[in-house]
Amino acid sequence: MNVEKHVEALREQIRYHNYRYYVLDDPQIPDAEYDRLLRELQELEEEHPELITPASPTQRVGDKPLDGFAEVHHEIPMLSLDNAFDDEELAEFDRRVRERLEIDVVEYAAEPKLDGLAISLLYENGILRRGATRGDGSSGEDVTQNVRTIQSIPLHLIGTDFPERLEVRGEVIMPHEGFRLLNERQVAEGNKPFVNPRNAAAGSLRQLDPKVTAQRPLEMFCYGVGLVENGELPDRHSAILERLRDWGLRVYRGIATVRGLNGCIDYYKRMQQARDALPFDIDGVVFKVDRIDQQQALGFVARAPRWAIARKFPAQEELTTVLDIDVQVGRTGALTPVARLEPVFVGGVTVTNATLHNEDEIRRKDVHIGDTVIVRRAGDVIPEVVSVVKERRPKDARPFVMPSRCPVCGSDIERMEGEAVARCTGGLFCEAQRKEAIKHFASRRAMDIEGLGDKLVEQLVDEGLVNDVADLYHLDIETLYGLERMGIKSTENLVAALEASKQTTLERFLFALGIREVGEVTARALARTFGASSAKGLSDHDRAQADIDRLAKATQEELEAIPDIGPVVAGHIAHFFGQAHNRDVIKKLLDAGVTWPLQEAAAAQPLQGKTYVLTGTLEKLKRNDAKARLQALGAKVASSVSAKTSAVIAGKKPGSKLAKAKRLNVPVLSEKEFIKLLEQEEQKI
């Protein structure tokens, strides 16, 4: 085998598949096969380091951190665009263009105006040589090391017909999902979250250490060219973008050519409607005269081309005043502070409320009642308070105080240590949580009330027929018949299903109550521990009540002694049963006839006392299923490795947990060995 030719063939394959994935959004091979190709190339380059080139797909990250960014002078300035804020200003732009060109109708290339950071990429003989920020338009910063880490930027162009020197211009952005995950990681690591995707993208691209940039979910879309030497490009802007796509550069697929002012307005409206569904932020659309000869005829003013304009969307950030701060209770009991605002027009609508997320966020932003604040609204997303203009704080501004009781039902407010969200503890009682509590109670894995769907639950609550889960068992044919979609047959079936659901199991009943973080496995552990195995002389009702009383009286220490129940879950359980209204609803359920068979004594579980850690991706089992099967066998599933860990189960692409297990001499099981262990131990119970 000719190693050099094989290495180059691998690189060509990887470039091609990058093109299919990032440019065409049409991958031809699964990720596992792509990873195999990349690993093979890495291994060959390690064996033959003399074959490594800067344009190899393996060389995206590896340079040392910089002390600072070098200055780059743009050979052709990166000019800004004039803006149009309404259709009249857009019409004026179109009139000027038509008059200068002396034509009746102009063809425009129309594209979204991405909200990110402008970037310049210089390719020489198809190889990426330099990446630079726009800066002031005349000069920017050399960020070559960082742009090389962005997977959607090719290190080597596809084909052979590109110019000898080609400067490609575009926008580096951070998609919404990547921004969400990045901020979750920031908060988990104790760092300040980014304000918006644009700031996150700009901050990520200007990291002195490229390894940090490589961990950020950046992407790039190209929107034009600058310098072109020793090569020809098409005579229309839209065709140039197609050619860039052919060479492996990413171009937004929604770009179009439109005729005249009406075509521009129609495209603007389409993008405004599509804006909320896009996976990234845009703040308007850009219209460019499509023919290059017409662009050249129109020329430039001092800082902007005469042949292009940005039609901006309505502003998404404005100043207003916080009139008060209320607290809303969500369907899961989460308490969300909401700022009541002096009405302000932002993002195309009048905004009077904005979320403040949680108490910690209020403290971090230092929001007081009476403050002047910046409010942001992006599409249909709930408006939020971005920051406070502290210089305008009045002397009578008041700090916010979180209530100690639920403003809807009066139940205690619970905020566990380490959690940002405060919650109402009246899950079975609180009006704000009523619908979700009933839906969960009736679900298949809980009380399994067939025929009680979400729409019917909402109708029953809205019409005042059901105020808590116990009221379900007082529904009869006369009450149900005639409700929307409830004929005589469906009514009879639901009444029969309600009656049948009264005969359940203790673990299903406990799961159905919706206690925070009490899933099926934890409910089973509670049932085994507190089931009245010796109460054979009692009636079914009294025995069921005795089971509940025994659980309700359990101390935090007794709950924590149960396998897989730590202090947080134990606290949730104790808090739930400590609320009198929750116990009242349970009593109503038992009085209505809900009961369960005698609980057998808990058998010793084969993996009780053992602790396992999962890392990597399992191919045959979902992680939640693997965790549930371990817990059902009595094992504890931990998130970190210690010397006391019984074994680490390693799937594909394991993380640092595997390395730590090896350092501590903790046994490591493959997925095959893990499944064999499960099957062996499950046969024992």
Give 232-248 as a DSSP string: ---SBHHHHHHHHHHTT
Residue 109: beta bridge partners? 257, 288
Beta-strand ranges (E) seen in 493-639 are 611-615, 636-638
d(CA 213, CA 218): 8
CA dihedral of 390, 394, 399, 403, whole degrees rounded to 10: -130
Write the single-letter amino acid at 476. Answer: D
Helix (H, G, I), strand (E, B) or coil at 229: strand
Set 5, 64, 113, 684: catalytic member: 113
N- to C-terminal Cα distance for the chain?
A: 56
Quote the DSSP letter at residue 19. I
Q: What is residue 290's three-state secondary structure? A: coil
Q: Is 113 a catalytic residue?
A: yes
DSSP label at 22? I
Between CA 355 and CA 378 the distance in angstroms is 13
Identify whether the C-beta of residue 346 lies closer than 8 Å to the C-beta of residue 315.
yes
Question: Torsion angle, CA of 243/245/246/248, rounded to 10 degrees?
Answer: 130
Residue among 274, 313, 282 at smallest CA distance from 115:
282
Q: Which of 597, 586, 511, 600 is nearest to 548 (CA)?
A: 586
φ and ψ of 75, to 5 deg: -65, -35
User: Phi, psi at residue 288, to the nearest 5°?
Assistant: -125, 135
DSSP characters for 76-89? S-----EEE-SHHH
- Give every CB contact of residue 623 below 8 A, 6+ residues apart in sequence: 614
| Tokens 């704080």 found at | 393
> Alpha-carbon distance 219 to 152, whole Å?
6
CB 318 within 8 A of CB 375: yes
Other CB atoms closer than 10 Å to residue 540's CB: what's the count?
15
What DSSP assignment string belongs to 294-344? HHHHH-B-SSSBTTEEEEEPPPSEEEEEEEEEEEEE-TTSBEEEEEEEEEE
Helices 567-577 and 580-591, axial angle in degrees (round to 10): 70
Residue 241 token pair: 């973008």
DSSP 599-634: PPPPPPPTTTT-EEEEESB-SSS-HHHHHHHHHHTT
Between the alpha carbon of residue 589 and those of residues 431, 453, 502, 503, the distances in Å are: 18, 20, 9, 12
Q: What angle do CA 251, 25, 183 make, to 5 degrees?
A: 85
Cα(609)–Cα(606) distance, rounded to whole angstroms?
9
Active site amino acids: 113
